[in-house]
Amino acid sequence: MSNVISPIREPLILGDRTHHQITEDVARSVEGKANKWWWLMFGIAATTATWGVCCIFYTIGVGIGTWGVNKTVGWAWDITNFVWWIGIGHAGTLISAVLLLFRQRWRMAINRSAEAMTIFAVLMAALFPLIHMGRPWLAYFSFPLPNQFGSLWVNFNSPLIWDVFAISTYLTVSIVFWYLGLIPDLATIRDRARVAGNKIYDKVYSLLSFGWSGRARDWSRFEEVSLVLAGLATPLVFSVHSIVSMDFATSLVPGWHTTIFPPYFVLGALFSGFAMVLTLTLIMRKVMGLENYITIKHVESMNFVIMLTGSLVGTAYITELLMSWYSGVEYEQYAFLNRATGPYWWAYTIMMTCNVLTPQIFWFKSIRNSFVASFIISIFVNIGMWFERFVIIVTSLHRDYLPSSWTMFHPTFVDIGLFIGTIGIFFTLFLLFARVFPVIAQSETKSILKLAGSQYYHSNGKDKSVTDES
């Protein structure tokens, strides 16, 4: 079988790199000193993270009365943030797993960031239900308990228990999938430390690499397990985010009681997940000096997916409006009319603008191939997806069946601090991850060098096709 490189495709690796230079470039972020860009980003992230941690302790100490919630709007920013982080987290492993199953070469530059994003985002999401309980020290009631406690599960009938099982299963699979991909690169850092005489790095990374030897048997088992985990993670994502959406769909609240929620939430997760991966990838490209490995081809491919999923999310919005009109239920009709024209019309407008209109700008090739424009639009998409969750939750609750219960939600400084703080914690963890583990899968990148390296695309200024027999 032969692999032929099309001369019209953009290379995925720039700068005429060799296998050794790839190792040097990727290992530099772990072995060398952090540059000024990393320290700047880390300083900002750590400051906001500190603010968030203070707000968490303040909430636990004083109570959730410090939030802007009330008797009518019992779920507000806390559950909005929870669903937003879950959406981002559930997309990361799915992106990596699906691209692996479809053998997409441009996956190599983004898979490590996507998998790490999953773990940190799910951890951020888990904070909010824990705090929302009011008594987080009783969180163990959500897990299987010994019979000495009386009932095996205290509140087993609650739909939120489904989240605990589904999300914890997904988190476990994601951690294993992420760490498995790291092992060959950790072994490379171990070997380099051993040659350089760095005993601390040698011991730490020897422990982390689990005795990886790089033999054919190791690689064969590595590829087999990677494919198995990718096959497990892909349907698991769909099931998990469907379960999160059923927290709303199983209720009778107008605006929530709809069967479109499971695919709607899965599409939203893919949409926001790719946007966040694009944001992180572009940040890492600058901070870690990976311009040769994160190219415009990677950005353009992600932009295509964002444009597609944004169009599908827009279709889901229109379907929601159509079904509410067609239902003939006045409460349902009013819920959606209130979203667009009620007191929170501005949130609905931001949602529609950022999620439906903004991604369509990627139809223009000049925008699609711009690093700056791609970064700005990815931020807008993340903002729009947060407002989507806000619109779904708050605008459906603040107008109850009884006009006497109608109220407004106004966030407090604690609400704002918790949200911004979790973003700070997320980026702090991600930046620390980038200093301890390789951000680019160097072993996989080397495997596509002769197929996607710029030196194999161009020779003396002329395009040529390269054929490798395998």
Distance CA 390, CA 384 (A): 10
Query: For the segment 324-347, what is each residue's pLDDT rounded down to a tens digit?
Result: 888 878 888 888 888 888 898 999
Distance CA 129, CA 422 (A): 13
Distance CA 282, CA 122 (A): 21
Q: Please give the C-alpha separations between residue 172 and each of 86, 107, 180, 209, in angstroms, as whole numbers.
A: 15, 22, 12, 19
Query: For the segment 182-192, what is each residue's pLDDT rounded down to a tens digit?
Result: 888 888 888 78
Residue 463 has pLDDT above 60, yes or no: no
Query: For the segment 84-122, what is each residue's pLDDT rounded down to a tens digit?
Result: 998 888 777 778 888 788 877 777 778 888 888 888 998
Distance CA 49, CA 419 (A): 10
Query: For the segment 28-67, what is each residue's pLDDT rounded down to a tens digit?
Result: 777 778 788 888 889 999 999 999 999 989 988 888 888 8
Whether the CB-CB separation of 430 and 117 falls below 8 Å is answered with yes
Question: What per-residue confidence (pLDDT) applies to 459?
Answer: 47
Whether the CB-CB separation of 267 and 218 falls below 8 Å is answered with no
Question: What per-residue confidence (pLDDT) applies to 458?
Answer: 54
Distance CA 233, CA 178 (A): 11
**Phi, psi dihedrals of residue 168, rounded to the nearest 5°:** -65, -40
Q: What is the mean pLDDT of residues 195-200?
A: 76
Query: For the segment 258-288, what is each residue's pLDDT rounded down to a tens digit?
Result: 788 888 888 888 888 888 888 888 888 888 8
Residue 158 has pLDDT above 90, yes or no: no
Q: What is the pTM of this model?
A: 0.86
Contacts of 364 (CB under 8 A, 6+ apart): none
pLDDT band, very low/low/confident/very high, at 468 (cuts 50, 70, 90): very low
pLDDT band, very low/low/confident/very high, at 466 (cuts 50, 70, 90): very low
Question: What per-residue confidence (pLDDT) applies to 455?
Answer: 61
- The number of helices, as runs of H, and strands, as runs of E, in the chain is 16, 4
Which of 397-401, 451-455, 457-461 is least confident?
457-461
Query: For the segment 159-178, what is each residue's pLDDT rounded down to a tens digit?
Result: 677 777 888 888 888 888 88
| Alpha-helix residue ranges (DSSP H) falling in 342-370 | 345-352, 365-368
360: left (phi over 0), alpha (psi -120 to 50) or beta: alpha
User: Which amino acid, residue 53?
Assistant: V
- List the structure tokens of 38: 């990393």
Q: What is the mean pLDDT of residues 286-310?
A: 84
Q: Quick one: which of 60, 132, 53, 117 has its CA closest to 85?
A: 117
Q: Coil, strand or helix: which one is 52?
A: helix
- List the structure tokens of 116: 């790490």
Distance CA 384, CA 359 (A): 11
Contacts of 195 (CB under 8 A, 6+ apart): none
Distance CA 92, CA 269 (A): 9
**What does pLDDT average to over the chain?**
81
